[in-house]
Amino acid sequence: MNQQKLAGVCANSLDSLNNLKYVDFRDIEPSVLIEVLNSKKVREHLMPHPLFDETSIKKWVAEKIEIDSKEGCYVRAVFIDEVPAGWCGIQKEKNDYEIAIILSDKFKGTGSKIFIHLIDKAKSFGHKEVAIHLLETRPVYKFLEKMALKRIRSTISGNKFNTYMIKIVK
């Protein structure tokens, strides 16, 4: 599925998400994300790390603010109907820019709309391609495979991933 077709599908099927907001991390109280980020369902698909507490979430948010300040990067908290739903972003990982979307299971199905938003951001930054790293615990996604220039197995911090390299279409 190409990016334009996916955008049309997202616009038609997710119009009920009128209150989807991308909020700068400087404008949130870090602790509002603890419940989402510590959720067992969310953690199943992330690299292993300790549960967040009031101190560690502040440090993590500060790191995301630092990443957001770098050229070509964009990191935001995601709120849906004023409820913290997770976070998303474009981050630099080694030599590639990567897209990350981390959402509460309560908002399953909204990731595709956020994906299109991030692809549009990547276009505005002039990126030629972006990586999407999904832990091998996740299934192979056919729609990503169709969009991808290639899918490779990769290892980051000792964790195995399926990495999709997505060409950014102007």
Output the domain CATH number for residue 19.
3.40.630.30
pLDDT digits 0-9 by tens, 51-74: 999 999 999 999 999 999 999 999
What is the count of structural domains for the chain? 1
The continuous run of DSSP H or E covering 74 comes out as strand 74-80
Contact by Cβ (8 Å): 10, 116: yes
Supply the pTM of this predicted model.
0.86
Q: What SS3 string covers 94-125? A: CCEEEEEEEECHHHCCCHHHHHHHHHHHHHHH
**pLDDT over 70, % of the chain:** 89
pLDDT-based confidence at residue 114 (cuts at 50, 70, 90): very high
How many angstroms from the chain centroid is the CA of residue 49?
Answer: 18
Domain span including residue 124 = 3-167
In whole angstroms, what is the distance from residue 40 CA to residue 141 CA?
Answer: 22
**CB-based burial of residue 77 (10 Å sphere; 0-12 exposed, 13-18 middle, 19+ buried)?**
buried
Those residues whose C-beta lies under 8 Å from the C-beta of residue 53, and which sit 6 or more positions away, are: 34
pLDDT digits (tens, 9 = 90+) for 87-102: 999 999 888 899 999 9
